[in-house]
Amino acid sequence: MDNLVKICGLSTPETLDAALSAGADLVGFVRYPKSPRHVSLDLGHRLSLQARGRALRVVLLVNPADEAVAQAVEAINPDLIQLHGNESPERVAEIRSMVKRPVMKAVGIAEASDLAALSPYAKGVDHILLDAKPPRTAEALPGGNGLAFDWRLLNGLDPKVSFMLSGGLNPDNVAEAIRLTKPRAVDVSSGVESGPGLKDPARIAAFIKAARTAFAAHH
Ligand SMILES: O=C(O)c1ccccc1NCC(=O)[C@H](O)[C@H](O)COP(=O)(O)O
């Protein structure tokens, strides 16, 4: 998974088409009812068919029960499952063996000590997503809050650890984020929106272009 761009939280055929046409490598569908980006199983199914063969399809789940995992896999047929809650390393490994598909675990970063949370996941996941830790407010979502963490914290990360970077990325800062952190992939949601859950085709295209240029320059 090198030099890839993921556009997350797509929830309409039109904005999914914008992401696919602009060359997104991965597209994300959020299954979290409190989110403005939540997709029903039926909508997720249709969006997944639309993206098939054009980008890797990612379904986002938060602390899912087995039944929720099975329903999402059956309806959406994702290429990758992103776990964005407080799933333990054991639970992540359990879900991975249940679905027999690649799993990406999101880990929230706010301070240097948060990096210690990564190694217990090393054996049981296929990919790690480093995201900003959500604020402790009632309205904060587990992800997709448009907040960046201090990228310099990743100076303390073992260079052998490969990761996808997210959290508060946008068309204006993604080049600097890639230059400083050298991620294998980048992920964006709020930074390509004109309002909560409203993806903006022009911002999607600008983000992908800026990320591609930066990857070419720094890898
Ligand atoms: O986007 C949501 O609403 C969401 C809800 C619950 C769990 C995860 C969610 N989103 C995750 C993402 O979109 C991204 O992987 C990541 O958090 C970056 O988001 P942003 O800072 O908005 O670019």
Contact predicate 96/103, CB 8 Å: yes
* ipTM exceeding the 0.85 mark: yes
- Cα atoms in the 13 Å half-sphere on the side-chain side of 140: 12
Instruction: Specify whether 66 is catalytic.
Output: no
**What's the CA gap between 92 and 125, in Å, rounded?**
7
* φ, ψ of residue 80 in degrees (nearest 5): -150, 140
pLDDT given at position 219: 65
Q: Is the shortest distance between the CB of 145 and ligand 1 below 6 Å?
A: yes
Contacts of 46 (CB under 8 A, 6+ apart): 13
Q: pLDDT tens across 165-174, in order?
A: 999 999 999 9
Closest ligand 1 atom number to CA of residue 190: 22
Structure tokens at 138: 């009632």
**What's the CA gap between 181 and 16, in Å, rounded?**
28
Angle at the Cα of 61 from the Cα atoms of 67 and 83, rounded to 5 degrees: 115
- Give the range of the structural domain holding residue 68, as residue numbers without chain letter: 4-218
Rounded-to-10 torsion of CA 125, 130, 135, 137: -40
Closest ligand 1 atom number to CA of residue 191: 23
Number of domains comprising the chain: 1
Q: pLDDT tens across 133-172, in order?
A: 998 898 899 999 999 999 999 998 888 888 999 999 999 9
Catalytic option among 17, 25, 79, 131: 131
Q: What is the pTM of this model?
A: 0.96
Q: Is the shortest distance between the CB of 44 and ligand 1 below 6 Å?
A: no
What's the CATH code of the domain at 10?
3.20.20.70
pLDDT given at position 197: 96
Q: Tell me the CA–centroid distance for residue 119 and ligand 1, in Å.
A: 22
Q: Is the shortest distance between the CB of 35 and ligand 1 below 6 Å?
A: yes
**What's the CA gap between 181 and 199, in Å, rounded?**
26
Instruction: Specify whether 187 is catalytic.
Output: no
